Structure 1
Amino acid sequence: MSQNDLYTLSVVAVVAIVTWVLRALPFWVFRAGRPVPRTIAYLGRVLPPAIMGMLIIYCLKAITPTAYPFGLPELIAVAITAGLHLFKRNTMLSIFGGTAAYMVLVQLVFA
Structure 2
Amino acid sequence: MNDYGYLFATFFAMMIISFGERALPFAAGEWLQKQKWAIVLGKFLPLAIMFLLVLHSSTGAALAHGGLPIPELAAIVATLVLQWFWKNALLSIFTGTLVYVVLFNSMF
Fold shared per TM-score above 0.5: yes
Sort the Cα spacing of 1:95 and 1:17 in 2 relative to 1 into closer, same or farther, 3 A: farther
Q: Which has the higher helix share?
A: 2
Sort the Cα spacing of 1:35 and 1:99 in 2 relative to 1 into closer, same or farther, 3 A: closer
1:109 is matched with 106
1:15 is matched with 14
Sort the Cα spacing of 1:8 and 1:103 in 2 relative to 1 into closer, same or farther, 3 A: farther
Sort the Cα spacing of 1:9 and 1:103 in 2 relative to 1 into closer, same or farther, 3 A: farther
Between Structure 1 and Structure 2, how many residues are aligned?
Answer: 103
Instruction: Look up the SS of the partner of 1:12 in the other structure.
Output: helix
TM-score norm. by structure 2 comes to: 0.69
Amino acid at match of 1:104: V
Question: Percentage identity across aligned positions?
Answer: 30
Amino acid at match of 2:12: A
Per mean C-alpha deviation after superposition, the further-off stretch among 52-61 and 35-44 is 52-61
Amino acid at match of 2:23: A
Residue 18 of structure 1: how far off its partner (Å): 1.4
Gaps of 5+ in 2: none
Alpha-carbon distance in 1 for matches of 2:102, 2:95:
11
Alpha-carbon distance in 1 for matches of 2:100, 2:35:
41
